[in-house]
Structure formats: structure tokens, C-alpha cells
């Protein structure tokens, strides 16, 4: 278990280095920051999704959950759906940002590693004419997500349940490209690097990859630092909760740490 002290230090370190638009000399990142990251969320635009979040946050039913992301090998323990929602769902601000990025970069083929209860998935699937494939390792959680998608009447989401080490390679054999990927499945160094390398084979110059919880643990921080310096990553942005990766060679290896 990582202490609150580690996370506080990680936040302070990030805060001391983060900059706003006045320090951004890159036209690409200035545009990204001012048009996307600093845009306020119009909550009315996502009322239909946030209503489902509220229902999940009040749902006291217990389901069996095994923490595959941390490598736990013990028997599943029971947790309430409400507690899972509180601890694992992306906030509305971040999910709305991912939706805006999908619009800006005209993403069509979208991959999510780590469905959780499906709220973030709905944001990823909000743009018309997209296809979202989302992967979840915990069957009981996937069942709740599937109900969430059905209730929202979403037809452009394909939920794949099972060990991502097996399901992701099978899926990648069937697709020619990935336009947007959100990685939030396994918060250990080795699986994070492995999944990124697999996804990397399908990205192109306009692709966007988001890595969640990059400062959550030393392992995730190590994975983030290695990934953002990969030879095929030409631009990266650190937003503390997540890191955003770009693959356009014209960015010429730029990295920014951005205030929120």
C-alpha cells in the first residue's frame, strides 16, 4: 500500500513544475491547453451520463471483486457498487476532456482498457459514428457496466470481458488502427508497458493515447516516464491524474506539465 504522504509529495512536485498558457511556446500545446484543457464543463451536455453516475454512487448492492490491477491473488472480496464508483470512476471533468479530445482529433476507433462501471466509456462513446471497444477483467463489474450501456441505449460500445493479457492481443489482430486509447486497466509497471507496446503497433500520427493514474504509485510514475520518452512518442502532456501522448513527428519531442 502506498501512503497518502507519497501521493501528497507527488502532487506537490507536479504543482511546482506545472505551467499555464503564458509559458507555452508551442502552438500545438497552446491550442490544446486553451481550447480543450481549460474549457469549463457544460454539465447540461452530459446530464444523461451524470444521472447514471449518481445512481451508481447510491447503489449499495455488493458484488465480488478481485483487484486484478494490483496483482492480487487472494479470493475476491465483496464491495458495494457505490464504493467502487467512488474510488474508480473518472471525474466528469476528465471524462469530458477525453470526449473533447476525441472530437478534436476526429477519432473513430476507440479503445479503453479498464471499463470499471462504464461511466467513462459513455463519454468516450458520445461522439456519433465512433466504435468503442472496452476491456474489463472483473466479470461482476463488467455485468454492471453492460447494464449501464443498455440503460443508456448505447449501440457503439463493444464490451470484452476477461484477462486483458489474452483478450487485447486477439482484438488487435482484427483492427487496422487505433485513433484514441484510454489505459486504466492495470496499475503495475510491467503490464502498463506491455499494453502500451501492443497498442503502439496500431497508432498513427493523429492518434491520442491517455494513461491514467500516472502519479498514483512509484510503479506508475516509472511507467509514465518511460512511455513518454519512447522513440515513437513525439509529444506528451502531464495533467497529474493522467498523461496524454501524441505521435505526430512534427511535435519534435515536446513534453509539458500543465496546470488545471
Q: Which whole number is the average pLDDT over 190-214? A: 97
pLDDT of residue 44: 83
* Nearest to 123, CA basis, from 228, 235, 233, 210: 210
What confidence category does residue 72 fall into, taking pLDDT thresholds of 50, 70 and 90?
very low
Mean pLDDT for the chain overall: 93
Helices 47-57 and 81-88 meet at what angle, rounded to 10?
Answer: 130
Residue-wise pLDDT tens digits, 94-109: 999 999 999 999 999 9
**CATH class of the 4-46+90-257 domain in this structure:** alpha beta
H or E, element range at 53: helix 47-57
Instruction: Kindly tell me if the per-residue pLDDT of 197 is higher than 80.
Output: yes
Q: How many degrees, rounded to 5, is the angle at CA 113 between CA 188 and CA 104?
A: 120
pLDDT of residue 3: 75
Q: How many degrees, rounded to 5, is the angle at CA 20 between CA 93 and CA 256?
A: 85
Q: How many degrees, rounded to 5, is the angle at CA 212 between CA 133 and CA 251?
A: 90
Query: What percent of the residues of the chain are helix, what percent strand, and what percent coil, each to the nearest 5?
Result: 45, 20, 35
How far is 182 from 114, CA to CA, in rounded Å? Answer: 8
Domain ranges in the chain? 4-46+90-257
How far is 259 from 85, CA to CA, in rounded Å? Answer: 26
Instruction: Kindly tell me if the per-residue pLDDT of 67 is higher than 80.
Output: no
Instruction: Kindly tell me if the per-residue pLDDT of 30 is higher than 90.
Output: yes
Instruction: Kindly tell me if the per-residue pLDDT of 2 is higher than 80.
Output: no
Report the side by side order of strands in the sheet with 208-212. Answer: 157-161, 131-136, 109-113, 180-183, 208-212, 242-246, 235-238, 254-257
Q: Which whole number is the average pLDDT over 133-141? A: 95
User: What separation in angstroms does the CA of 213 have from each of 217, 218, 221?
Assistant: 8, 11, 8
Least confident piece of the model among 41-45, 202-206, 216-220, 229-233: 41-45
Least confident piece of the model among 72-86, 215-229, 241-255: 72-86
Which long-range contacts does 229-233 make (Cβ < 8 Å, 24+ apart)?
Answer: 230/196, 230/200, 232/200, 232/203
What confidence category does residue 43 fall into, taking pLDDT thresholds of 50, 70 and 90?
confident
Distance of CA 13 to the CA centre of its chain: 22
Amino acid at each position: 500500500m502506498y501512503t497518502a504522504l507519497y501521493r501528497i509529495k507527488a502532487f506537490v512536485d507536479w504543482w511546482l513544475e506545472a505551467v499555464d498558457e503564458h509559458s507555452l511556446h508551442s502552438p500545438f500545446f497552446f491550442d490544446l491547453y486553451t481550447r480543450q484543457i481549460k474549457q469549463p464543463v457544460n454539465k447540461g451536455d452530459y446530464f444523461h451520463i451524470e444521472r447514471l453516475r449518481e445512481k451508481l454512487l447510491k447503489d449499495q448492492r455488493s458484488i465480488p471483486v478481485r483487484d486484478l490491477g494490483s496483482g492480487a491473488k487472494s479470493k475476491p472480496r465483496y464491495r458495494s457498487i457505490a464504493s467502487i464508483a467512488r474510488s474508480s470512476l473518472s471525474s466528469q471533468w476528465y471524462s469530458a476532456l477525453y470526449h473533447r479530445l476525441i472530437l478534436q482529433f476526429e477519432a473513430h476507433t476507440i479503445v479503453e482498457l479498464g471499463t470499471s462501471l462504464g461511466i467513462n466509456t459513455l463519454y468516450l462513446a458520445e461522439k456519433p459514428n465512433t466504435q468503442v471497444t472496452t476491456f474489463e477483467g472483473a466479470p461482476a463489474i463488467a455485468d454492471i457496466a453492460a447494464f449501464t450501456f443498455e440503460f443508456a441505449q448505447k449501440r457503439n460500445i463493444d464490451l470484452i470481458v476477461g484477462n486483458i493479457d489474452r483478450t487485447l492481443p486477439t482484438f488487435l489482430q482484427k483492427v487496422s488502427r487505433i485513433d484514441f486509447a484510454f489505459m486504466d486497466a492495470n496499475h503495475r509497471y510491467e503490464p502498463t508497458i506491455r499494453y502500451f507496446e501492443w497498442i503502439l503497433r496500431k497508432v498513427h500520427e493523429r492518434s491520442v493515447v491517455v494513461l491514467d493514474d500516472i502519479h498514483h504509485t512509484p510503479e506508475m510514475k516509472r511507467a509514465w516516464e518511460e512511455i513518454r520518452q519512447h522513440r515513437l512518442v513525439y509529444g506528451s502532456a502531464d495533467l497529474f491524474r493522467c498523461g496524454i501522448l501524441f505521435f505526430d513527428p512534427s511535435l519534435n519531442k515536446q513534453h509539458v506539465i500543465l496546470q488545471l
